[in-house]
Structure 1
C-alpha cells in the first residue's frame, strides 16, 4: 500500500500513482488507443472521408453520462470492499490485543510455556491469514513451528482455521482442568470466536467479486465507446482528435482498472491493504503483552507491487 500524507506535496502524491502496475496497464492501453486514433484520423483526413464519417458528438456526450453512472457504481462497490476489508483487519488488531490481555490475566507469569504457546499461535493465525487470502499459506513464514507440528500443518488445507481450532482446544482443556474459571472461559470464548468471524468476512470479500456479467458488460461498453470515439471527434477537431481521444480513454479506463485493483484488497498491488504489516504488528503487540518483550525480528516491510 502506498503511504502518503494528504495535502503535503501535490506533485509528490501524483508521482506515487506511476509506481502502480495498474497505471502501467493504463498507460500502455492509452498508447495503443493513440496509435489506433492516429491511424483512423490520418485515413479519414487523407482520403477525405470526413463527409461520410459524421457521428454526432452529442450522442457520445449522452453515452458518456451513462458510462459515468456505471463507473461510479463500479468504483463505489470496489471501494466498499476495500474499506470493509480494512475494518475487518482493524477489528482483528483490537480482538487479538483483547485476547492476549485475557490470556495474560488468566495465566500466572510462571506459566511461561503457555504464554509463549498462545503468543505464537495467535501470531501465526494472523500471518497464515495473510497468505490464505492470497495464494495459500507459506509455512516458512510461521514462527516457532516445531518440525513435528509442521508435518501436521502440511496436511491441512485451511491453516488459519486449524490454528484457531488448536487455540480453542487449549482453552477448553484448561477450562475442564479448572485452570480457567467459567466466567473467564465465556469471555475469552467470545474473543476467540471473533477470529473466525473476521476470517469468514475476509473470505466472503475475497470470493465474491463484482458479478461477472456486469464486469464484462462494462468492459464491452468502454471498448466500443473508445473505438468509435475518434470517428466522432475527427470531423470537428481533425488531428487534435488523437490527444482528445487518448485523454477521454485515459479517464474512463483509469476508473475501471483502479476499481479492479482495489476490488481484491488482499494482494500486493500498490493500493491493496498492508495486511502483512498489520499481521506482524499484531505479533509484536501479542508478544509484548504475554512475554513483556518484542519478538525476534523476522519481517521486513512488504513491497507492494505487481510481480509476474
Structure 2
C-alpha cells in the first residue's frame, strides 16, 4: 500500500502515480490509441474522405459506459475495503485473545504465554502469504526442524495453526489451569481467526466475473476507436488529444479497479498485510509480557509493480 498524506504534496503524488505499474500500462495503451487516432485524422483531413458519424450517438454510448465504470469501480473498492475491515478485525481479535490469555493463564506459567504468543503471531504471518501464493514456512518465527517439516506437510497452514491454538487452550483446561468459563470467554476470539480467514478467502477466490470484466474493456476500446468518426468533422486535428484524453480517463478507471479488486497481493495499492502481521506479532508479545527473541532485520515488503 502506498502511504501518503492527503492534501499535502499534490504534484509529488501525481509524479509518483506516473511511476506505478498500472499507470505504465495505461500510458502504453493510451499511446496506441493516440497513434491510431492520428492516422485516422491525417487520412480524413489530407485525403478527400467523408468519414464521420453523428456525435449524439457517442454521447449516449458515453453515458452507458460511464454507468458501467461507476459500478465496476464501486464493486472493486467494496472488495478492497472489505479486506481492510477483515484485517482490522484480525488485529482486534488477536489483541483481545492475547489480553485474555495473559489474564487467564497462571501468572507463573510464562512458557504457555510464550507458546500462545508464538502461535497467534505465526497464524497472522501464515495468513498473509496464504492469501497470495501459499504460506512460506521459512517466514514463520521460532520453529524447530521437526515443526518446520510438520508445517510443510500442511496445505492450509492457517487451519493447522488455529488447531494448535485450540489444542493448547484445551490442554490448559484439562490440566485444571483454566476453567470452563474461561474457555467460553475465549471462544469468540478463537473462532474469529478462521471466520476472518474464510472471509478473506471468499474475496480472494471470487473475482469479478471474467466475461463482465472483458466486456467493459472491449466496450472502452471499441468506443475510443469509433469516437474519431463523431469528432473529426467538428474538431479536425484537435480530435487527437480529445480522443486520447477520453480513452486515458476510461481505461485508467477500469485498470485501477482491476488492481484493487484483489487487495491481498503486492500491487502498489494492495493492503499492507505484511505490516499488519508484524504489528500483531509485536503487540501480542508485548501484551503477554514475554520476550520476543531477536530476529533478522525485517525487510519491508517490496511491491513488485512499482517502478
TM-score range, shorter chain: over 0.9
Looking at structure 2, the residues matched to 149 and 201 of structure 1 have their Cα atoms a distance apart, in angstroms, of 28
Aligned residue in 1 for 2:299: 300
1:127-206 matches, cutoff 5 A: 127-206=125-204
C-alpha distance in 1 between matches for 2:126 and 2:214: 33
The number of residue pairs the alignment matches comes to: 306
Aligned to 2:232: 234
Instruction: For residue 66 of structure 1, give the secondary structure of its aligned residue in structure 2.
Output: helix
Q: Which runs of 5+ in 1 are unaligned?
A: none
Q: Deviations over 1:93-146 (max 9, x none)?
A: 010000001110122342222111111111110001111100111111110111
What are the ranges of 5 or more consecutive residues in structure 2 without an aligned counterpart? none
Secondary structure of the 2:100 match is: helix
- SS of the residue corresponding to residue 306 of structure 1 reads coil
Aligned partners of 1:129 and 1:199 also within 8 Å: yes
Mapped to 2, the partners of 1:55 and 1:293 lie a distance apart of 74
How far apart are the structure 1 equivalents of 2:110 and 2:33? 64
Q: Hey, what's the Cα distance between the residues in 1 that align with 2:90 and 2:140?
A: 18
1 CA distance for matches of 2:306 and 2:3?
A: 19
Residues 284 and 295 in structure 1, CA contact (< 8 A), matched pair in contact too: no
Write out the 4+ residue segments of structure 1 that deviate beyond 4 Å after TM superposition: 292-295
Instruction: Tell me the CA shift for residue 297 of structure 1.
Output: 4.7
**Larger displacement relative to structure 2 (156-165 or 109-118):** 109-118
TM-score normalised by structure 1 residue count: 0.95
CA RMSD, Structure 1 to Structure 2 (Å): 1.5
Bigger drift between 288-297 and 249-258 goes to 288-297
Measure how far apart 1:12 and its partner are.
1.8
Moved more, 184-193 or 247-256: 184-193
Q: Which residue of 2 aligns with 1:103?
A: 101
Residue 292 of structure 1 and its aligned partner are, at CA, apart by 4.6
> Aligned match of 1:281 in 279, 282, 286?
279
CA contact (8 A) 1:287 1:295 kept: no
Q: Is the 8 A contact 2:114 2:290 kept in 1?
A: no
Rounded Cα–Cα distance in structure 1 between residues aligned with 2:199 and 2:15:
34
Q: Could you tell which deviates more after superposition, 72-81 or 229-238? A: 229-238
